[in-house]
Structure formats: C-alpha cells, structure tokens
Amino acid sequence: MQKSRALLFTAVDVVELAEVQIPHPEPGEVLVRTDFSCISPGTELRCLAGLQPGLEEWGYIPGYAAVSTIVEAPESAKAKGLIAGTKVIGGGTLRASVPRAWGGHTEFAVLPADSCIPLEENDDLVAASAARLAGIAYRGVRYAQVLPSERVAVLGLGAIGQCSARLFRATGATVVAIDPVDQRRAHAEAEGVTTTDPETAGKELANSFDVVVDATGSERATALTISLAKGHPWDRPETNPARIIVQGSYPGNVSFPYQATFEKELSVRFPRNVVRQDMEAVMDLHRRGRINLRSIVSDVLSPSDALSGYNRLKARPSEITFAFDWR
C-alpha cells in the first residue's frame, strides 16, 4: 500500500487533508503521483453541500480532473510510451482505503493504463489539469453538430460554460455568452467571446440561436434557454430545428415547458461525461492556440488551503476554478 495525502469531504462544508492508503497497481494499471488536480466547481460544491445523489457516506475523496507523473507501469503500458516519469492526464484513483467520489484530489492514484493520456514535454501542467473539464464541454460541441454559419448562445460562465463558449467559437460559429456576473463575462471577452447579461438577452435575443447551451445547473435558466432558441418553421421541414445542449450539472430532475419546446420542435441533448478523444482534442486546440485552458484556472492552491478555496468559489463567483499543487 502507498501512503498518500488526500482531500476528504467529511461533512457539509468540511474539508480535511488526511493520510489514506492507495493500493499497488494490478495488471493493466499504473501508479501515478499527482502534480495538479483541478476542481470541478458545480459537481464538487454540490457534493460539499451534501446534495449529490447517491453519496450518503462522508469521508470520501472528491474530484476527477488531474495531471500526474507515472511512478509504476506494467510492461504492456511501456509499449505505449507509459513509462516511469511520463506526465499524463488522468482521473480519480480506482481504489483507496476510503470511499471515493471520484477520487481525483489525492497525492497518489491507481489508474487504468489505457485511460492515461501522455503529455508533450512543453505542455503547461496547470492548463492540462483542466483538460477533463474542457473535454466535457467539447463533448457538448460534438453533440450539437454545429455549423460555422450557425449562432450559439451559452448560458452560465462557470468552468464548463467558459470552456463551452470558447470551443464553440473555435468552430467558427457566432457565439454569445450570457452571465449576470460582470467579471465572468470579462473572462470570456478576454478570449474573444461576445457576452451579455440575462436581462438583455431575454429582451433582445429571443428566437435567435440555432444552439443554446445550458451550463448553469439552475432550473431558473430553463425559460431563458427555451426563449433564445429559434423556432422551427412549420412549412420548412428540411431545415434543422434548434438544439438545446444541457451541460449544467443538476442534482436531480430538470424539466422543460412542453408547449414552448413542442412549438419550436426543439431537440434537447444531454452529453454525458467525457471520453479520451475529447481530452486529446482540447489539448490539441490548446497547443495550437485555438483555446486557452490556462485562463480557466483562476488560482493554484496548496491542498492544505482547500477549504478556503471552496469557500472562495462559493462566495466569489468571479473566480472560475482552482487547481491544487501536490508536488
């Protein structure tokens, strides 16, 4: 067993840095030491508030986005370039001496070798720690099947919304990002994204968008989401109806008003999680300067300052997300 520091959510709004045990890797697995792990604010703040479905036992390791260095690798992995010292994008540990949700904020981790994405020598590790978040947004871009001639609205400029707005812009589509917080809009504008506030959008942009991304995780945004989507003309069946992409992280059910959704013949799509190809794609876009993953991470903290970091994310919505430095 490998001793490891890890963040534990032990009660509502209680975060502890504790020592846990990480088992040795089994065949087909690697042992890694984490360089940086990145907070997924929507999911982790919901977990910390005790609102995540299915999590009933406290004292678990949260998080699912990390960049690590391989410590031990099997011979089968070495043929794929996964040798000791290789920097990789990974995820949460498969096993630990305590429960996991999803086990990302830990100093050491056991990962499936096939899930590890090797990094290039000059890659920014902090930026790469946000690749899983950006990959989730990229999956939404793929599900939207957007065309460069189309218009996209992104509601909510948290971590996923920021990534989503930038990725849709990289397709050549016309993007408008919508958020009530001035500083969050400023973050997006610094990356070339046009923004506005919800009140203005509701008044001036109704029926304007081919794709509307709900990255809020709040049912209060549903009415605006539907209103922004273009109506589908009854006499033009050859045209594509507008698409709603639900990227927000909801703790329970979310509903859409039937009549308005029916009248516009909207398609509502729910991208689920992320796959390897999504993360490889966003890293390629980052390397080519098409998106800037480093600007998603507002600050880098010590794991010992984790509770203050989560409190900052709750109290100061101008900050997007944080990474923890485990080195």
The pLDDT assigned to 319 comes to 92
Q: Are residues 66 and 123 in the same domain?
A: yes
pLDDT at 235: 65
Long-range contacts of 54-58 (CB under 8 A, 24+ apart): 55/101, 57/99, 58/9, 58/10, 58/11
> d(Cα 54, Cα 6) in Å, to the nearest integer?
21
Q: Which amino acid is at 88?
A: V
Q: What local confidence, expressed as pLDDT, does residue 43 receive?
A: 92
Question: Based on the domain organization, do 117 and 144 belong to the same domain?
Answer: no
**Residues 145 and 242 grouped into a single domain:** yes
- Are residues 245 and 202 both part of a single domain? yes
> Which residues is 208 bridged to in the sheet?
none
Tokens of 129: 């720690």
227 Cβ neighbours under 8 A, 6+ residues apart = 202, 206, 207, 260
Same domain, 221 and 119: no
State residue 236's pLDDT score.
63
**Burial bucket for residue 26 (CB in 10 Å: 0-12, 13-18, 19+):** exposed
CATH code, 239:
3.40.50.720
144 occurs within a structural domain: yes
Are 141 and 246 part of one and the same domain? yes
Distance between CA atoms of residues 17 and 47, nearest Å? 16
- State the greatest distance between any 2 C-alpha atoms of the chain, in Å, as a whole number: 67
Looking at the structure, tell me whether residues 245 and 307 fall in a common domain: no
Decide: helix, strand or coil at residue 295: helix
Q: Are 69 and 267 in contact (CB under 8 A)?
A: no
Contacts for 298 with CB less than 8 Å, ≥ 6 apart: 319, 320, 321, 322
**34 in any annotated domain:** yes
pLDDT value, residue 286 = 97
Supply the range of the domain harboring residue 69.
2-130+293-325
Question: Do both 182 and 81 map to the same domain?
Answer: no
- On whether residue 109 sits in a domain, the answer given is yes
Name the domain count of the chain: 2
Query: What distance lies between CA 60 and its chain's CA centroid?
Result: 20
Please tell me the pTM assigned to this model: 0.93
Shared domain check, 154 and 85: no
For residue 269, the model assigns a pLDDT of 92
Tokens for 234, please give them. Answer: 């009854």
Residue pLDDT tens, the chain, 327 long: 899 999 999 999 999 999 999 999 988 899 999 999 999 999 999 999 998 888 878 999 999 999 999 998 887 777 777 888 999 999 999 999 999 999 999 999 999 998 999 999 999 999 999 999 999 999 999 999 999 999 999 999 999 999 999 999 999 999 999 999 999 999 999 999 999 999 999 999 999 999 999 999 888 889 999 999 998 776 666 567 899 999 988 877 888 888 888 888 899 999 978 899 999 999 999 999 999 999 999 999 999 999 999 999 998 788 999 999 999
The per-residue pLDDT for 56 is: 78
Q: Are residues 154 and 183 in the same domain?
A: yes
Q: Is residue 283 situated within a structural domain?
A: no
Residue 58, domain member (yes or no) = yes
**Do 160 and 247 have their domain in common?**
yes
pLDDT at residue 10 in the model = 97
- Non-local CB neighbours of 37 within 8 Å, separated by 6+ positions: 63, 65, 66, 67, 104, 105, 106, 129, 323, 324, 326
